[in-house]
Amino acid sequence: MSLEKKQIYNLNKLHKRLRREVGKAIADFNMIEEGDRVMVCLSGGKDSYTLLDILLNLKLNAPINFEIVAVNLDQKQPGFPEEVLPNYLSQLGVEYKIVEENTYGIVKEKIPEGKTTCSLCSRLRRGILYRTATELGATKIALGHHRDDMLETLFLNMFYGGKMKSMPPKLISDDGKQIVIRPLAYCREKDIARYAEAKQFPIIPCNLCGSQPNLQRQVIKEMLQAWDRQYPGRIETMFSALQNVVPSHLCDPKLFDFKNIRHGSLLENIEGDIAFDKPEIPTAPIMQDEENDFLEQTQISFREVN
């Protein structure tokens, strides 16, 4: 097989994998329903570009009818290339809205030099996007968080918050008015990065948060990346754990009624008694299908198939 044909083949294979994973997440969590108007939040990064691209592709053959509107929040960061996203979205022919709000100025004013800006920036963005969704009549708000983001959040909450808490694939706002979905929940960041490079999306770097060297999330990300290199399959196994929670074998009385366990109690759907036994821990990690398909492709430039 020639190099060009191999590049095309690998891009097609990667696209099918992402499309399959997004479709499965949508089905598993009932993310998109008949008649939905989905507001895709487009930051200009690889994740949100990939999200929009895959959703537009799925929409062509979906068994339900739904609308897509792309929204970008222009936070008035110095040097932000204002023309990039409008030009890209116009070429796609997708409905879009650019929301201009000087959150950058607010964050710089409120946060001392050297402190992380993520918390305040996130709250400001959330409020603006919720308001915009209402104005546009959107029934779902789609964000570009992926599997790695969810695992990073889990460890952040464990290490710094004392909680077993991650990012949910689907949530409802505190006031019950907005539903947020994360269709990339099953997608690997390294697949998204390869796809974005192959498609040559016009990436816009975030100079506000991405350049902060003291971010706890960046430390966690590097830890997970090191594990992924040293122990292939570990990331897949950890994500599988998020989908297989056993409350009876944790320590939260809000999730399991430990107090009312009595002699003679027969508890349904509870794993067996291992009080005096060491649990059998699998020695092999859970490997994702075609895990190594693209390990050797990082130096190859892909070309989109027309």
Pairing of strands 95-100, 179-181: unpaired
Q: Burial letters for 77-105: b for 16+ Cβ neighbours within 10 Å, e otherwise?
A: beebeeeebeebbeeeebebeebebebbe
Q: Evaluate whether 146 touches 189 at the Cβ level (below 8 Å).
A: yes
- Binding residues, by number, are 118, 121, 209
If we measure between CA atoms, which residue out of 123, 154, 153, 162 comes closest to residue 251?
Answer: 162
Q: Which residues pair with 73 in a beta bridge?
A: 99
Evaluated on CA atoms 29, 34, 36, 41, the torsion sign reads positive
Q: Report residue 65 as tokens.
A: 């009818």
- Binding residues for [4Fe-4S] cluster, by number, are 118, 121, 209
Host H or E run for residue 69? strand 67-74
Q: Is 294 helix (H, G, I), strand (E, B) or coil?
A: coil
> CA–CA separation, 9 vs 11, rounded Å?
6
